[in-house]
């Protein structure tokens, strides 16, 4: 049956997702059009294709136990020189993402794996391109702001053409706390985040 390369992530909604994807391509990142804008929960992971039913059941259970939470992006950061990445920072919702990715990779489930680096939720906007272009991405998106309520995550498969395609969206089993989402650039109210599954 062979293997497939899977990833699990939280999609950045419109209009922000397409905007950041276009900006990423504009900085010269050739991979931009094949990667939907996202916050990673499980990095690219090769698995036996026969395990897909178990993986789907596992992710459905993780989502059913989950609760929607507020997410806010603001400004830029970089992993250089350790890794050639410029990203938009997750300034709210990071703790929930960290808990969620732990559940996705739980040792009792079918997606257990070690991470190359400690988990750090972020939205990549440049990867492996010229230093000057990385600097541009860091500077030009420094004022970027976005906020929304995360109510789901999704399973993706990478095709032979290196394009990531969504296989399924998993909605959380419970709604999050009531919240008004501010317009882009407006200050966000910052209620205490609800713990995953809490």
* Higher pLDDT among residues 163 and 196, named by residue: 163
Residue 75's region, left for phi above 0, alpha for psi from -120 to 50, else beta, is left
Q: How far apart are CA 125 and CA 65, in angstroms?
A: 31
CA 195/CA 198 separation, integer angstroms: 5
* Interval 3-12: pLDDT, tens: 999 999 999 9
pLDDT digits (tens, 9 = 90+) for 10-64: 999 999 999 999 999 999 999 999 999 999 999 999 999 999 999 999 999 999 9
Q: How confident is the model at residue 177 (pLDDT cuts 50, 70, 90)?
A: low
Average pLDDT estimate for 142-160: 97
What's the mean pLDDT in 114-118?
88
| Positive/negative CA dihedral, 134, 140, 143, 144 | negative
194 or 139: which leads in pLDDT: 139
Domain boundaries, the chain: 3-171
**Which residue reads 């419109």 in tokens?**
14
Kindly state the average pLDDT of the residues 104-116: 93
pTM score, two decimals? 0.86
Query: Distances from the Cα of 109 to the Cαs of 55, 89, 153, in angstroms?
Result: 8, 29, 17
Confidence of residue 178 (pLDDT cuts 50, 70, 90): low
Q: For the domain 3-171, what is the CATH code?
A: 3.90.1140.10
């Amino acid at each position: 049956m062979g293997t497939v390369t899977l990833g699990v992530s939280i999609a950045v909604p419109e209009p922000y997702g397409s905007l950041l994807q276009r900006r990423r391509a504009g900085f010269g990142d050739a991979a931009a059009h094949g990667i939907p804008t996202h916050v990673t929960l499980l990095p690219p992971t090769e698995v036996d294709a026969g395990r897909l039913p178990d993986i789907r059941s596992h992710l459905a259970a993780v989502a059913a136990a989950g609760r929607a939470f507020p997410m806010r992006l603001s400004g830029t950061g970089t992993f250089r020189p350790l890794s050639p990445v410029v990203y938009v920072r997750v300034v709210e919702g990071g703790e929930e993402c960290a808990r969620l990715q732990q559940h996705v990779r739980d040792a009792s489930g079918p997606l257990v794996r070690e991470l190359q680096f400690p988990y750090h939720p972020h939205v990549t906007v440049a990867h492996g391109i010229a230093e000057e272009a990385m600097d541009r991405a860091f500077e030009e998106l420094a004022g970027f702001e976005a906020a929304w309520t995360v109510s789901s995550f999704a399973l993706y498969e990478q095709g032979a053409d290196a394009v990531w395609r969504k296989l399924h969206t998993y909605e959380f089993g419970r709604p999050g706390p009531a919240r008004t989402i501010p317009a882009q650039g407006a200050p966000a109210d910052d209620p205490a985040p609800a713990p995953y599954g809490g």
